[in-house]
A and B are shown apart, each in its own frame.
Chain A
Amino acid sequence: MASESRTAAPSPTGEGAAPRPEDTPPKSDARRRERRSRRYRLDVKWSPYAYIAPFFLFFAAFGLFPLLYTGWASLHRVELTAPTDMEWAGLHNYSRLLSDEFFWNALKNTFTIGIISTVPQLLMALGIAHLLNYRLRGSMFYRVAALTPYATSVAAATLVFALLFGRDYGMINWGLGLIGIDNIDWQTGDWTSQIAVSSIVIWRWTGYNALIYLAAMQSISHDLYESAALDGASRWRQFIHVTLPQLRPTILFTCVVSTIGAVQLFGEPLLFSGSGATGGANHQYQTLGLYLYEQGWVNLHLGRASAIAWAMFLILLLIGAVNWLIARRLRKSEGDS
């Protein structure tokens, strides 16, 4: 930052500041102009680096270094009991992932929980956005109300939901009991536990996504609806043929963000179980993030945990690449029409 302010301090103001008294002779004026233009060139060339420097400095220290270190560790046999004591293992930590059924189980769980949490969440968000897009009395109240779960932390939300989903005394089982459904063991069942974990994610994020959809809906030009109405399209058909196509980039955006969140899902399954990182007796809701945590912090295998971390990273990069391809496709098809 210091270098930046040095170049900036003596520079003349944009609004044509009053000339300084000692600068009156024409000869020095020319020299000054030259100096100024040199300074100007320096400024243009170097200031961008100064602007991005803070980000990359912090990123290098707290992002890149750990990333590379983890990559290096993933090629070694290394234990938390002696983190500096590394034994070269090549790609062993990766190749074993292929036959590690706990890894595949975690991947499968991450995928199913991702689906169960993302699909209903975005559909509901779309529906809520549609409702909010009507002209309403007190619409701001509904918007703020829908957003409040977003203000709740993973920890607080999960603790409440774990209580609501309690087997013996939980509110949800009590409610189901009223309509004649026996107590469900939300912790133990394969699907029930995944639904319970997903419901926390859905609760926290639906309102937020609804607002994003709502914003996109409100920026759709009215003419499109007008001409659709002239063609005799019903409201539903208008929604399908005007609203949805116009929302496509936004939907893609929310899909990507939700997918990234789903792949990294960690806090909910960790706290939902109350203890340990197994994600239930049968590992039924152990996600990749949780499995990584278990390998690194419970089983103390840093090398294996690092390999899982990098596998997650690669999965996310893959998702990013797919997203980029779809986005390019979309842009092209938009360009064609």
Chain B
Amino acid sequence: MTTLTDTEPKTPDLKTARGARRLVRGPRAGRQLHGGKWTYVALVLVTVMSLFPLVWTAIAASRSNSRLAETPPPLWFGGNLFKNLEFAWHEANMGTALLNTLVVAGTVSIGTVLFSTLAGFAFAKLRFRFKNLLLLLVIGTMMVPPQLSVVPLYMLIAELHWTDQLQAVILPTLVTAFGVFFMRQYLLQALPTELIEAARVDGASSIRIVWHIVFPAARPAMAVLGMLTFVQAWNDFFWPIIALTSSGNPTVQVALTGLAQGFDPDQSVIMAGALLGTLPLLIAFLVFGKQIVGGIMQGAVKG
């Protein structure tokens, strides 16, 4: 997490005195030169580009359909936001959808993190037959396009009577090859083999090793993987729109797609739906932004 500390200069003089900063922060941070005026200009531009479509979603959601079909397009908020939000909420079954998505994304995240850590640990540190073959299989799995499995998967869940039920979208995504690979790469470096061997010599069972050594060592990566998986599961769209229906038991993306493809809803209502579906993650990003950014960066170095 060293990368995070440079956001908060501790004392004013450090901001100006480069030499002093180097002493305090060590050689790593010393490279960091002060950004010039143009750096800020460029970054503000990047920020505007990143945020504008989201802000405009809110603007569009606060207008009427006919106002969106005028030139120039609206650049500021109008008075229809709550009307549109309410309409989208009811029309798209958004309450159920948000709750469902929370359940799905939560379960999938926990499952993925748990199973990936276990498998990643085994692949990183344990010895067993067919290990390399199986690892190759895991990596090969990453290449499988999700479209490939849709039809047989659909027939499978239809056979199990799971259509329109949440387990139809939870179970097929409960493990990911990426997660296993990610945890393996992390544990390969973060978990000293001697530690495990020492524990073995002490007679610790492997379940104790997992609980007392592997999980603590893997915690940062587990957090990152959990976060990545949660965002991914929240935004997953290809499989859910096939397995679920918007009027039955939708997730947010299913509800949103249904809303967008419906014949009735106005453009402004669709934007209101998009806003509703995105808002929870946006709020999470605002609150935990620092941790999320730190997590992604940390995961990046190790993975």
Contacts and interface: CB of A to CB of B under 8 A. Distances in A.
User: Within the complex, are A and B direct neighbours (CB within 8 Å)?
Assistant: yes
Interface of A: 4-5, 7-8, 11-16, 36, 40, 43-45, 47-49, 51-52, 54-56, 58-59, 61-63, 65-67, 69-70, 73, 80, 83, 127-128, 131-136, 138-157, 159-161, 163-164, 168-171, 174, 177, 203, 207-208, 211-212, 214-216, 218-223, 225, 250, 253, 260, 263-264, 266-267, 271, 274-275, 289, 292-293, 296, 302, 305-306, 309-310, 312-313, 316-317, 319-320
Given A67-B149, A136-B35, A161-B53, A52 B42 contact: no
Interface residues of B, number: 117
Contacts of B252: 153
Contact of B152 (A13, A73, A218): A73
Contact of A150 (B142, B231, B267): B231
Contacts of A319: 143
Contacts of A7: 205, 207
Contacts, number: 335
B56 A160 contact: yes
Contacts of A153: 234-235, 237, 252-253, 256, 277-278
Interface of B: 2-4, 6-7, 21, 27-28, 30-36, 39-40, 42-43, 46-47, 49-51, 53-54, 56-57, 60, 68-73, 114-116, 118-119, 121-123, 126-128, 131, 134, 138-153, 155-156, 171-172, 174-175, 177, 180, 199-200, 202-210, 212, 231, 234-235, 237-238, 252-253, 256-257, 260-261, 267, 270-271, 274-275, 277-278, 281-282, 284-286, 289-290, 292-293, 296-298, 300-301, 303
B136 to A, nearest CB: 10
Contact of B148 (A49, A66, A225): A66
Q: Per DSSP, are chain B's interface residues mostly helix, strand or loop, or mixed?
A: helix
A11 B206 CA distance: 10
Contacts of B177: 59
A70 B119 contact: no
Given A13-B204, A56-B134, A160-B57, A145 B147 contact: no
A146 B46 CA distance: 7
